[in-house]
Amino acid sequence: MRIDVLGAVRALRDDGTPVDLGGPRHREVLARLVAAEGRMVATNTLVGDLWAEPPVRAVGALRTFVAALRRAIEPDRPPRTPPRVLVTEGPGYVLRLSRDNVDVHRFEDALARARRTPDALTDLDAALAAWRGPAYADVTGSAWAERERTRLEELRLEGVELRARLLLDSGSGAELVAELGAHVTEHPWREPAWGLLARALHRAGRQADALATLRRARTMLADQLGLDPGSDLRRLETDILQGATTLQPARTVWTAGVRLGPRTTVELARTLALAGGDALVHSRRDRLAAAQAAERTGDIALTARVIGAYDVPALWSRADDPEQARAVVAAAERTLTALGPDGPAGLRARLLATVAVESRGADLSGTERRRAGQAARAAEALARELGDPALLVFALNGVFLQSFTRPGLAAARDLIGIEMLDLATRHELPNFAVLGRLIRLQSASALGDLHAATAHAEAAEQLAVSTEASLVPVLTAWFRARVTAARSAEPGGPTAATAAAHYRVAEDALAASAGMPGLHRGLFALALLGLRLLHDRPAPTDSALDWGPYHPWTHPLVLLARNRTEEARTALARAPEPPPDHMQEALWCLTAHAAARLGERPVAARAAAALRPAHAEHAGGASGMVTLGPVARYLAEAETCAKKR
């Protein structure tokens, strides 16, 4: 089966016959899951996307739509067997279908390949030909669909222009005159399109028409926008007038899929990453592909530049795509070895910083963590020696992400944030200024200074307006929910229900923003657990909650809440030591609390030893997003339990 959304939403069986998807709401549910690109979409998010004002029984209606879609998509599935395509996952649904079977994904993949190498031109041709009209054409009145239509239309126009450029670079392109003429007429503000049309006219032997086209572009830009043409158009006009050889077919424009200069694939990926959301997902894929293509050239310096150019600020200590992060780290380490200790210091520093930034996640071995910590310190030392502020803030990002070696280091991380913010402000590095503010927010949150943390949140939001950092308001919404949760435990504070509602709003915003599964999974469930512990209530037992990576440490408390004491004891014994990341204090506190409840003295003693350096901090506060209350409370529980005989 395949699904098409580049036009009206439809599904086709392998023999080409259409699948009856049902009414408009059924098709919209399917379309929204397509747009998620294989990621889970929470039920609440789907409800919010389907209805501006959800009816009382919206969740029930959604489940009805899903059930009908499952029957339509998998008509031969035996009764009581789990679905294979439209699958329930955690608190929502996910579409399990290969990218080759969805037209929009085939198009995006073909465009990504064509950006890297001209050999993919045939695939790009086919992908552009698959467009039957505006994307999600029959999904009207939905904000999510309008955003996707806008995004995909921009990609389609890029694809049209990229195809033309590849043809012109290859020596053909005279046949593009009519097509590009129509394209420019429909989209007169796309400056690169004018240059492509002029090149096509010149290739067709129409030099005068090519120059006239560039003059029209100049006039239009000046009269309508008050702008002069960019350097590319000015250079092209000079080249045509002088008969420059640069207008001849390019022989070596591409080097195994990587272009040098200001528009390299990895730099485009970096720009996308800073935009956040779905663009972040695409940027990671393009970034790794560019690094692999650079390695294939055998040019070590080029490979180092490509890998090290992706200096995108990173805040969270769990990788969104661990497998890809490992691949990037491996490529960086191979390139470091090839450069040797006498290689250019700037390139080595960027590669070392890349290793430090990308070495994140609970599944890292002790050896990998030690190498990453050493890489962070070496990158910082080289950057300081070179006196390069942009390189130093990138290196400090790695130092920050490797600073979770044990509980109780919030004050040390705050010093990193202070220096990063100072450097970024003085040297006009706004994206790292945002990161510096968020690091300081997290540190103040961990230390219980909510007044200072709020000031950093507000400053980060102001910076985000100019940098277009779309994830910042999502993160600060979580911080404000964390503040409400903390104050709900104070006399006269907001109710626990109010705090839970704030967490729900923050969760919906994070789910809608996409692109950060390493942060998103399990966060809402952990926040609710922390809220209940603040009010001395048992863990939530809702089976729909997705505990994500925190399951081993939360499960004993969930089992205790269900009065399954012996199972809880077994689960506690099986729980590993919490990984050194943003949530380590929180997970140690959960371990301490469960051990105290179960009277497990050895576990309580280990938890107490781990938590003592963090006695003045707040559990979960290092995230700036959740809180379980003061660490001292859980430390006291563990110490009391450990001393019992």
pLDDT tens figures, 24-66: 999 999 999 999 988 999 999 999 999 988 998 999 999 999 9
Res 242: pLDDT: 81
Neighbours of 363 (CB within 10 A): 12
Band of pLDDT at residue 514, cut at 50, 70 and 90:
low
Mean per-residue pLDDT of the chain: 88
Res 541: pLDDT: 92
Band of pLDDT at residue 384, cut at 50, 70 and 90:
very high
Res 269: pLDDT: 46
Which runs of E-coded beta strand occur in 70-140? 86-89, 92-95
For the chain, first and last CA: distance in Å?
65
More confident residue, 247 or 494: 494
DSSP state for residue 94 in the 8-state scheme: E
Whether the pLDDT of residue 188 is over 50: the answer is yes
Res 173: pLDDT: 76
pLDDT > 90 in the chain, percent:
63
Res 258: pLDDT: 32
DSSP state for residue 77 in the 8-state scheme: P
Q: Cα Rg for the chain, rounded, in angstroms?
A: 27
Measure CA 453 to chain center: 24
Mean pLDDT on 272-289: 55
Which residues contact residue 571 at a Cβ distance below 8 angstroms, ignoring those fewer than 6 apart?
Answer: 552, 555, 556, 559
Res 243: pLDDT: 74
Band of pLDDT at residue 205, cut at 50, 70 and 90:
confident
Whether the pLDDT of residue 515 is over 80: the answer is no
* Alpha-carbon gap, residue 553 to 342, rounded angstroms: 46
Which DSSP string do the residues of 361-386 spell out, in sequence order? STT--HHHHHHHHHHHHHHHHHHHHH
Res 252: pLDDT: 29
pTM here? Answer: 0.62
Band of pLDDT at residue 247, cut at 50, 70 and 90:
low
Res 244: pLDDT: 65
Encode pLDDT of 601-635 as tens digits: 999 999 999 999 999 999 999 999 999 999 999 99
Strands 92-95, 41-42: parallel, antiparallel or unpaired by DSSP? antiparallel
Res 387: pLDDT: 92
Mean pLDDT on 349-373: 92
* Alpha-carbon gap, residue 200 to 209, rounded angstroms: 10
Neighbours of 481 (CB within 10 A): 26
Whether the pLDDT of residue 210 is over 70: the answer is yes
Res 253: pLDDT: 29
Res 283: pLDDT: 52
Mean pLDDT on 432-449: 96
Res 607: pLDDT: 97
Which DSSP string do the residues of 9-57 spell out, in sequence order? -EEE-TTSPBP---SHHHHHHHHHHHHTTT--EEHHHHHHHH-SS--TT
Res 249: pLDDT: 52
